[in-house]
Amino acid sequence: MSRLGSLGARLYRGEVGYDFVGKRMLWYGVSILITITAVVGLAVQGLNMGIEFKGGVVVTTPKLSVSTEEARDTAEEISGHIPIVQELGSGGLRIQISDVSTSESNKIKTELASDLGVATNDLNVDVVGPSWGEQIANKAWMGLGIFMVLVVVYLAIAFEWRMAVAALIALIHDLTITVGIYALVGFEVTPGTVIGLLTILGYSLYDTVVVFDGLKEASKDITKQTRWTYSEIANRSLNGTLVRSINTTVVALLPVAGLLFIGGGFLGAGMLNDISLSLFVGLAAGAYSSIFIATPLVADLKERDPQMKALKKRVLAKRAQAMQKGEPTEAEEAEAAEAAGAFDAEPEDAAPAGAVVGQRRQPTRGRGKRR
């Protein structure tokens, strides 16, 4: 068994683990800091809206001997605006000039043809009105709102309202960070960006729902035992799916990283950046929020419930009583039984160097002595 597979099995069995829920205030602080940075970047720099949202003209040329820098200087001198010039695979250029009216586009076409040394009819000119981009933005906001409502309703029915609230906060967290990164980096916001933002919502929910499903199963009849609190059960469920979450996120990020860094950066296909950056940041933020935000939030909300408060008091009281008598607690007995059973079944498993350590606290069915 590989080191990662061995670690995943030990995490699932509860032999090792990291106290995500117990250190939730640290992760809340980190998330708040990242979110504030994103909001400040958005407020100070704003989004670099593409031509589809601001309106303008797009001129496509045939194969030229003119460099992109020369074409950019020429277009800026003619239009009075800073253009975006991209080299096409055919050897031609795509010159994008924002905030240009329809009447100005004919003048720009004529002067560009003259300065670039091509016939006017060889230039393909597309004029984009800002109303089209406004319609896209409005429909995107409408789709986002409908999606949020459906997510909350579904999670409230399938799980409970606390999990629905936690998932919604995690989604807003992911969207805010992604939009803030766009503002800080200065990448152009296009319809592809909007598609990417809507796409990451599903990815963001995937790991969260997986953890919630495990948590729902593990917390059945929780009030009938006195070994573990709700937060300890939530932490075990999270650790049990940790390696799976990391694996699925890495596999999803690799092709997106190829689009962003190789296609958009190394090969210069700038149009790939529109959707790949939103996907890359959104996938990473979604994995982070499902581990460090969503489940700890559920535990926080659940621990406010009177039944969970009473359970926590009973658990702590029984542990204190056992410690006074010098006896092992029920949790320690269960952990010892788990460790002994795991050692007998898989003696070759050993904790890899640098593995997360610290036993987790959560009931295990059919193992250990019960009082």
Look up the pTM and report it.
Answer: 0.72
Phi-psi region of 241 (alpha: psi -120 to 50; beta: other; left: phi over 0): alpha
* CA separation for the pair 36, 179 (Å, rounded): 12
What is the per-residue pLDDT for 330?
A: 55
Which CATH topology does 3-49+132-307 take? Multidrug efflux transporter AcrB transmembrane fold (1.20.1640)
**Residue 262 CB partners (closer than 8 Å, separation 6+):** none
Q: What pLDDT digit, counting tens, does each position of 318-337 carry? A: 888 878 777 655 555 555 55
Token representation of residue 325: 């008598």
Strands (E), 141-201: 188-189
Sign of the C-alpha dihedral computed for residues 144, 149, 154 and 156 taken in this order? positive
- Mean pLDDT over the full length of the chain: 77
Residue ranges of the domains in the chain? 3-49+132-307, 56-128
Q: Is the pLDDT of residue 128 over 90?
A: no
Q: What pLDDT digit, counting tens, does each position of 275-299 carry? A: 788 888 888 888 899 889 999 999 9
User: In terms of Cα–Cα distance, which of 226, 238, 216 is closest to 302?
Assistant: 216
Q: Is the pLDDT of residue 151 over 60?
A: yes
Q: Is the pLDDT of residue 253 over 60?
A: yes
What is the per-residue pLDDT for 296?
A: 92
Strand partners for 147: none
Q: Is the pLDDT of residue 368 over 50?
A: no
**Residue 121 CB partners (closer than 8 Å, separation 6+):** none
Mean pLDDT lowest for which of 70-84, 109-123, 185-199, 253-267?
253-267
CATH for the stretch 56-128: 3.30.70.3400
Strand partners for 93: 87
